[in-house]
Structure 1
Amino acid sequence: MDITLHFFFNLSLLIILLFLGILWIGFSDNLRSLKTIAILFCFASLIICFAFKFRFQEDILLDLRTIPFTIGGLYLGIGPIIGLFIIVVRGMYGINFGFFSTAIIIAFTSLIFWRMSPWFLKTSSRQRVIIATIMTFIVNLFPVILMEISQKPFSIYDVYFGYLIIQPIGSAMIAIIIEILFKTIYLRHHLVKTKRLEVVEKMAAAISHEIRNPLTAAIGFVQLMQDETISNDKRDQYLSILKSELNSAEKVIQNFLNYTNPQIERVESLNVNDELDIVTNIMQPLAKRNSVTIESKFSSIFWINGNRQSFHQCFVNIIKNSIEAMETGGPLKVEVESTQTNAFIRIHDTGKGMTQEQVERLGEPYYSTKGESGTGLGIMVSYNIIRALNGTINVKSEVGKGTTFEFSFPIDETK
């Protein structure tokens, strides 16, 4: 039973190592880095197997090396490299009967795994698990037969159970975990791709909708200009209108480009209190229509570097959304504080609030908490502008109680 217990302990270490590898893989989306991590896991597993070997006799070392050898050879296609590593490490423990039998078996099966790997990866998930299990059994059958032939005195049933039962089951368990990981990675990439396609479709639909009117008008005037009986003055008038409509279409496209990546063309020192005062005055009519009272509290005068128009656009969008979230009206607080290095702007509403999932999705293209009535472009633009101004955003919200937006900007120390 000593061999069996030792193998179970070794197998538990391999599974723990595999889960550590899965945690590592969870932080990576690059397929090349995923394969690198898998190769590192394979060789780390081999090192663990040799480190926790069971020296049955002077020339016989029992361990679970067949599991990472089979999994790595079939899934990664690096059978000869793994095989060479096993032979070299085994040689460090002595050149004897066990070494030569290992070298022959590993060299032969590593070439088989190398040729099998491309075909193996094309099979179904269930077939891969079965094949990995069977190949582990077959590879382990050779040393058992050799020990039988050499008539070594050993506990035959313990070795049989360890080599022909535990190791194939171990390979099956690890293969199943790998297949689940494959499916998870595939679903994650598929989800990201689907979201990107959804954004592209919505953007295309929005652009199509916005430029359809000027282009339709332009086409109409082109058709009118094809009439050879019209006067030159009329033709010039049509050309002027045509140019104006095409400029409108170009402006629409430029506006959409600015939505995704706003460019801060002119940077100047801004008095935060003055600029926010302008913004709140702009929003007063909308606030009154929604029974909202804007309460401003500015602690001190300080300056930040930014673009005035972009700053106004950003906070008009934020305050507008806050007002619209307050369906029953109430106070909307705009507070300004500062430290020696940073300015903090807080906008707190008493609206319907948001869930944590909604908060995390704020700023995503075309995501809106208003459902079908909103486009999400306003918040997306605001978030992009804040980042372009070297600012940070922190949102706290509770359903039924309201939302607080906190923006932090580095202070202009020259003022």
Structure 2
Amino acid sequence: MSKFFFILLFSVILTMTLPAVYSTEFSYDLRIIPIIIAFIYGGMKPGLSLTAVMLGLTYFLNPTMFFPTLGNYIVASVILIYLHKKYHKQTNKNKVIILSVFYLLIAASRGIFLLQEGYTYQFSISLFLSFVTLITLISVIMLIETLRKQITLHRELEHIEKMNAISQLAASVAHEIRNPMTTVRGFLQILSTSKDIPETDRSFISISIEELDRAQTIINEYLSLSKPQESALEVVDFSKVINDSIQVISTYAIINNVEISKAIDEEIRMKCYKHEIQQVFINIMKNGIESMDSNGRMHVAATRQNKYVKIIIQDNGCGIPKEQLKSLGTPYHSTKEQGTGLGLTVSYEIIKRMNGSIDVHSKVGQGTTFTILLPTTD
């Protein structure tokens, strides 16, 4: 972002120091373009900073125009800050229309001023230069959007390549892992039928078998990343899936002195990968529990919002540094010393396969909030 700002800053300085002078009273430059781009693509802080620099140059180069320019750009800044919040949700076509209308309003106000003051000759020149500015603005917008799309596609390609590497690695070791797991499970089943084993130990054996089965399920999920099983989609009681996930992780939470509260809407129906989405919740909750010290608190909420269900998993743990948030879900990236990062990688892929989205907000020392949106079905 700093490079982007300095490019816009250089553009403002260049266009203001080399304006198009078409009379002794009037000159024209393209300062509005980098100002618009700064607000829309950079946000309020870069936009206001660039506007302040522009006003400083105006005061230095043309003091008589300082206060009119100040008034105009105060209004323009307020409008651009408002547009920034809605702009990025629009299609490219609508983005061009929005900014074109905004600039045309500015050009129209300038034209009305010239006509009222009797500057007919300057009006025709201003009209031509406004057209040039509009074409330039549209070209810059399309160029930026094209570059953003290329960057997104490049990141997606890198992600796909990493997932392919994981799939190949998982496939190469899955067979070797399954064999000893099957052997251990078989011996445990034999031991569980022995009459010489106390009931307490028998319960431990039962838990061990369940965990081996869970490990087998996880291995299958890793392998399914590159080969999604569409036939596994089923309509389920999603409220029960979340409650079951909380129940599974509750023992681990108790061991770590973490209290889990919940607010789950009833009778949420959804078409999903039942076991996989349960693993998503367990992965996220487990990470949250491990991020907290003693007496930690975790809150899980699920509410239906129109055609989506919103799941929030919030903890008051150590939080995640801002520079690491963008890397969440990346293979082999983990905030834990002995973590692999594959748990969240699998979780992100499962959410993506269900046409959902996952968003993470975190502050160091305050905690982390995972917000998941998934489409529902009636």
Question: Whose Rg is larger?
Answer: 1
- TM-score normalized by the length of structure 2: 0.48
- TM-score normalized by the length of structure 1: 0.44
